[in-house]
Amino acid sequence: MRTSKYAVLIISLTFLLFFFMEVINKKRIHPIQYLLVGFALSIFYALLLSISEQSSFGLAYIVSSIAVITLVLIYIQGVLKSKKLTMFMGGAMVMIYGFIFIILQLQDFALLVGSIGLFAVLAVIMYYTRHIDWYDVNKDN
């Protein structure tokens, strides 16, 4: 139940990564490709629920996250044709899923750790995007 509450956060952070990867690296990602990745991210929760009925939550979380991250990375490699961007995305997704797993384990401190983590993520995003001219983002240099 608590994992599904973080669904919007996981999906939003992943899409935010895709968007910034698209803007910063001038790699176009079609809305259909965003949709397919969104479906893959959504399937994580069905996998997590079904596997956790047969085994422990920790094992189910690890298996589900590895399956979804692998699926998305194989797809992204084919779409972007960049090993560097795929590796970056893989590392970022592992950090997102790892962060959520840690929050789920910290029942009493989940809000505190989650708030600090989200603050840090927002600070990093603001730092790396502070020089982007958002009005000129779609024009070729």
In tens, the pLDDT along 77-100 reads 998 888 999 999 999 999 999 988
Residue 27 DSSP class: -
Sign of CA dihedral 112, 113, 116, 117: negative
Average pLDDT score over the chain: 88
Torsion angle of alpha carbons 70, 75, 76, 82, nearest 10°?
100
Q: Kindly report, residue by residue over 11-23, the tens digit of the pLDDT.
A: 888 898 888 888 8
pLDDT band at 139 (very low <50, low <70, confident <90, very high): low
Instruction: Tokens 């995007």: give the residue.
Output: 129
Domain ranges of the chain: 2-128
pLDDT of 140: 59
pLDDT band at 113 (very low <50, low <70, confident <90, very high): confident
3-class secondary structure per residue, 32-94: HHHHHHHHHHHHHHHHHHHHHCCCCHHHHHHHHHHHHHHHHHHHHHHHHCCHHHHHHHHHHHH
